[in-house]
Structure 1
Amino acid sequence: MTNNQPNDRKAAIIAALAGGWVADAASLGLHWLYDSQRILEVGGQAPEFLPPKADYFKGGFGYFAHEGKQAGDLSHYGAATGLLMDSLLANGGTLDIRDYQRRFRAFFGPGGHWRGYIDNPTRVTLANLNTIEQKAIEQALSTTTAELTDKQKRVLVQKVLPYTRRLSGEQLADPVRKAISLTYQEREIQEAGVHLAQGIDRNLLPESGTDDMQLPAVSKLPPLVACYCGSDRLMELTEAAVRVTNHNDEAVAWAKCAARLLDHLFQGDSMPDALEAAKNEAPDKHSLNNAESGSSLNAIAAGDTYGRTCYLHEAMPVIFHILNHARSFTEAIRANIQCGGDSCGRAWIIGPAMAAIYGVGGQCGIPLSWLARVTDAPAILTDIEALINGPEA
């Protein structure tokens, strides 16, 4: 984890994580506009941080998904990445799948704080979490030996669910017992409720994702890689985190490719070496090799060749092309936006990768003015520093 990393890499990792948020926010205005000519007409040579407007999509093919958002706001990718970072922060930099699932459900689900587009992996994951919980309830009730009426069973389920949604294991018994005692004083019913809560807790599954091969599988990875940089557990934990939202073998393979790339860059390897190491995890190494070929950056042509949609087999070659040819953070982010399509999703690998190499400021790093344009930048940067340096810093 980051606390075990040499101090001389922490600044680079902080810059890398900041690069993800900057790249996402910079891309939001033209996100999911697929017509590169229309992007050029609207954004010219500096298409970053445009306010999302439906008018941009007139005269070109695309999907306007960010009504109500402002320049500098984050996409749903940024929101999901922030959730994983919050979970890592709350657990001392370690991945707790149950905690991550709870935060995901509470934030994106009914009554949550998210206002904006809900992608397919998020929508189906929320439904799967409900289904998993319902099956866990049925399994727990089937093993209850107490003599309970149907009404008592319903009341006990209602009593214990608020606790199984935020507590686990030994944490459950006392609060569940007290909650049930407000309605039932009988010891047998109270213990049946504790048994029910603990049974639900045991039967919840970590693989809550949908069978999906899109960019949400990899966009959330930068904070996780930062916490397990150089660890021999990184691939195992990458898979665990991905299967929360994308329970698909090909998505896991591409995610391991992206995680390996960031891991090498966070440790200080060069971009060519990191790209080469990452290919060993890729399900389609040939397309990545082809995407790296050529002597100049042409992200629009890469999009024409490999595709611009959210699918990983399209996005990852475009990402590799940009990373292999761009020579500054600004150049890479602008090329990504001008390529079109799912620029926000690709931004979460391109931004951290380029910032890990070039840092912040100067001719090649993240422009300071771009950092300042991200909505809630002070809070985001504070959390990034806490994750990497430790809360005591």
Structure 2
Amino acid sequence: MTHNVSTERKPAIIAALAGGWVADAASLGLHWLYDSRRIHEVGGQSPEFLPPKADYYKGGFGYFAHENKQPGDISHYGAATEVLTQSLLASEGQLDIRDYQRRFRAFFGPGGRWQGYIDNPTRVTLNNLDSIEQNAIKQAQSTTRADLSKKQKRILVQKVLPYTRRLSGDQLAEPVRRAINLTYQESEIQEAGVYLAETIDRHLLPESGADDMQLPAVSKLPPLVACYSGSNELMKIIEAAVRVTNHNDEAVAWAKCAARLLDQLFQGNPLSEALETAKAEVRDRQSLDNARSGSSLDAENAGQTFGRTCYLNEAMPVIFHILNHAGSYTEAVRANIHCGGDSCGRAWIIGPAMAAIYGVGGDRGIPLSWLARVTDASDLLADIEKLVYSQ
């Protein structure tokens, strides 16, 4: 879908996506330390890429969430962004809600790859996905006309679930029949299993998210905006994706604000125009205007004024302030860390925005040395390039 933007803008979009990974990893060491004084004591003027340590949080208010993480590692925000990126890659740059839900559940759920902090939207989304599936199973079992014993119904559900979790629609019937045939050769039982699978499939809901208006609603949007940049479908796609993890109207509005901002920058429009266009998506435009006022960057005061927590009504004004006043990628990332609080969450808008403007290298772009410090940087960058250039 990135064919909606000019070929000349694709390097800037790649830089923007890289900027998210770098800003997240740079912020991890002091993430959720709310005391700016303590942040300066620990990190000085270069607080980026510190090793996460519980000792940093002594003597200042904060929450240490990243035990066993190393410098260069990404946060849970980055992990969720990776899940969406992999889904977009598998779906040729288009949002496939079911694929996204499956990958999210497989990555963060029991037996998944993720080891680390689980935020509230992720935890509730995993619970909701389980509940949605159980309700779909009950609906399928209660409406089947086949004469099945309780044991047969139980076994059939066990047979079909691995397929309803990764396939849908016309893809289900043949593999479900084959799986059931290993135990039941009777055609009527096999058809009953197909009915169960198809009914479960129809009752799996796309709105699986938590009633939550925190930063996870917007932090994983950059690769999605990259795929749909310049498209008339962008806002509809953004809402659909957000409601997978954050089924909340305010979260959707702030996500559209963030997406509109990134979309404008990805297309090469001036930052002032992007900020103005973005604020039209939310009701609380005054706080965004207030955040842009003044003549100098003061992220710590912005955090004190608007709030440093994960809630979007606090985070977005701080983001607007930093973007409006920072003169380089490095200055913006460091200001974001010095502000304190949910620096990793804010990093996923600040980093891509500043990198879209200033690119990589030079006095104002992403430092090349920072790119090299991100864990698994080569794989992440390869995925970014594939996502943007394969469309």
* TM interval, short-chain normalised: over 0.9
Provide the rounded CA distance (Å) in 2 between the counterparts of 1:213 and 1:388: 29
Offset at residue 220 of structure 1 (A): 0.6
Structure 1 range deviating more: 351-360 or 137-146: 137-146
- Counterpart of 2:36? 36
Is the 8 Å Cα contact of residues 4 and 228 (structure 2) preserved in structure 1?
no
Structure 1 range deviating more: 20-29 or 276-285: 276-285
Written as runs of structure 1 = structure 2, the 5 A alignment for 1:265-344 is 265-344=265-344
- Counterpart of 1:259? 259
One-letter code aligned to 1:77: Y
TM-score (norm 1): 0.99
- Counterpart of 2:164? 164
Q: Does 1:13 align with 2:13?
A: yes
Is the 8 Å Cα contact of residues 28 and 75 (structure 2) preserved in structure 1?
yes
Is the 8 Å Cα contact of residues 49 and 72 (structure 2) preserved in structure 1?
yes
Q: Does 1:185 align with 2:182?
A: no
**CA deviation string 1:134-166 (max 9, x = no partner):** 001111112211000000000000000000000
Provide the rounded CA distance (Å) in 2 between the counterparts of 1:16 and 1:186: 56
Provide the rounded CA distance (Å) in 1 between the counterparts of 2:115 and 2:225: 27
- Counterpart of 1:60? 60
Provide the rounded CA distance (Å) in 2 between the counterparts of 1:271 and 1:80: 27
Offset at residue 114 of structure 1 (A): 0.2
Gapped regions of structure 2 (runs ≥ 5): none
Written as runs of structure 1 = structure 2, the 5 A alignment for 1:343-382 is 343-382=343-382
Provide the rounded CA distance (Å) in 2 between the counterparts of 1:224 and 1:254: 15
Written as runs of structure 1 = structure 2, the 5 A alignment for 1:230-245 is 230-245=230-245
One-letter code aligned to 1:390: S
Is the 8 Å Cα contact of residues 299 and 321 (structure 1) preserved in structure 2?
yes
Provide the rounded CA distance (Å) in 2 between the counterparts of 1:35 and 1:235: 36
One-letter code aligned to 2:98: R
Offset at residue 6 of structure 1 (A): 1.1
Provide the rounded CA distance (Å) in 1 between the counterparts of 2:351 and 2:148: 56
Identity score, percent? 79
One-letter code aligned to 2:380: I
Offset at residue 5 of structure 1 (A): 2.1
Provide the rounded CA distance (Å) in 1 between the counterparts of 2:20 and 2:57: 25
Written as runs of structure 1 = structure 2, the 5 A alignment for 1:122-133 is 122-133=122-133
Offset at residue 251 of structure 1 (A): 0.3
Is the 8 Å Cα contact of residues 250 and 283 (structure 1) preserved in structure 2?
no
One-letter code aligned to 2:121: P
- Counterpart of 2:73? 73
Q: Aligned pair count?
A: 391
**CA deviation string 1:354-386 (max 9, x = no partner):** 000000000000000000000000000000000
Gapped regions of structure 1 (runs ≥ 5): none
Is the 8 Å Cα contact of residues 3 and 390 (structure 1) preserved in structure 2?
no
- Counterpart of 1:154? 154
Provide the rounded CA distance (Å) in 1 between the counterparts of 2:169 and 2:140: 14
- Counterpart of 1:109? 109
**CA deviation string 1:2-28 (max 9, x = no partner):** 133211000000000000000000000
SS at 2:245's partner residue?
coil
Provide the rounded CA distance (Å) in 2 between the counterparts of 1:3 and 1:169: 29
TM-score (norm 2): 0.99
One-letter code aligned to 2:365: G
Offset at residue 307 of structure 1 (A): 0.4
SS at 1:244's partner residue?
helix
One-letter code aligned to 1:316: M
One-letter code aligned to 2:168: S
**CA deviation string 1:44-64 (max 9, x = no partner):** 000000010000001000000
Is the 8 Å Cα contact of residues 4 and 231 (structure 2) preserved in structure 1?
no
Q: Does 1:26 align with 2:29?
A: no
SS at 2:244's partner residue?
coil
- Counterpart of 2:250? 250
- Counterpart of 2:211? 211
One-letter code aligned to 1:364: R
Provide the rounded CA distance (Å) in 2 between the counterparts of 1:117 and 1:82: 15
Provide the rounded CA distance (Å) in 2 between the counterparts of 1:137 and 1:36: 50
Is the 8 Å Cα contact of residues 299 and 335 (structure 2) preserved in structure 1?
yes
Structure 1 range deviating more: 1-10 or 231-240: 1-10
**CA deviation string 1:160-194 (max 9, x = no partner):** 00000000111111111011111111110000000
One-letter code aligned to 1:216: P
Provide the rounded CA distance (Å) in 1 between the counterparts of 2:29 and 2:318: 20
